[in-house]
Amino acid sequence: MGHGSRPVTTRTFAAWVEPVARELRQGRGEITRTARKFLPEMWTMPSPLEGWTYKDLLAHLASGEWVFQTMLRDVLGVETSLPKQATLEYVNDGNAERLAERKDTSVQELIDEIATEGEKTQELLSKLTDDIDLATVAWHRDGQPVTLEQWVTGFPQHDATHGAQLKTALDNVML
């Protein structure tokens, strides 16, 4: 099993999904490593996102795959709950709701949730096949169609962007 208490799950991915799955796994690992370097007082400092502390940013990373996972479940026919005409307001409201739900959650629980949600995303990604239509419109964002391929290949940028924002706390403290 190696370090930690989580067994490593071996999954196979469609050729077009493998680089995305790998990038998401690496990004989640980097976020976890960054978060573990924080001193307790750093969590209450303001993050680069206006109105959010670094703990809020961590909570967003813990719950930030909700739209992506919902879209994947929709495309896979597991569940249909994401409005096909989802707006940025819908996503922002959902993010605010999830932040509020995690207000009293400990940093360790948020780090654990990052790993758990990352595994759920990996499981959903492993169900995408090579014969799925990549041009399928996964949803509409502010009236613009977003294809399955665009959404899946673009999503790792979410963790990369927020992971870099999380790292700014360490950069500032280490100066």
Predicted confidence at residue 70, as pLDDT, reads 84
Backbone angles phi, psi at 85, to 5 degrees: -110, 40
**Three-class DSSP category at 65:** coil
Q: Are 54 and 34 in contact (CB under 8 A)?
A: no
Please give the Cα distance from 6 to 40 (Å, whole number): 25
Over the stretch 56-90, which tens digit does the pLDDT of each residue have? 999 999 988 888 888 888 888 887 666 655 677 87
Question: Which residue ranges in the chain fall short of pLDDT 70?
Answer: 1-9, 80-86, 174-175
What domains lie within the chain, and their CATH numbers?
18-162 (1.20.120.450)
Predicted confidence at residue 65, as pLDDT, reads 87
Q: Which two tokens stand for residue 4?
A: 């930690």
Predicted confidence at residue 132, as pLDDT, reads 87
* Global pTM value: 0.85
Q: Are 27 and 160 in contact (CB under 8 A)?
A: yes
Residues in the chain, how many? Answer: 175
Predicted confidence at residue 88, as pLDDT, reads 76
Q: Are 69 and 124 in contact (CB under 8 A)?
A: yes
Predicted confidence at residue 79, as pLDDT, reads 72
CA 107 to chain centre: 16
Predicted confidence at residue 66, as pLDDT, reads 85
Predicted confidence at residue 175, as pLDDT, reads 47
- The 8-class DSSP code of residue 50 comes to T
Beta bridge partner(s), residue 139: 146
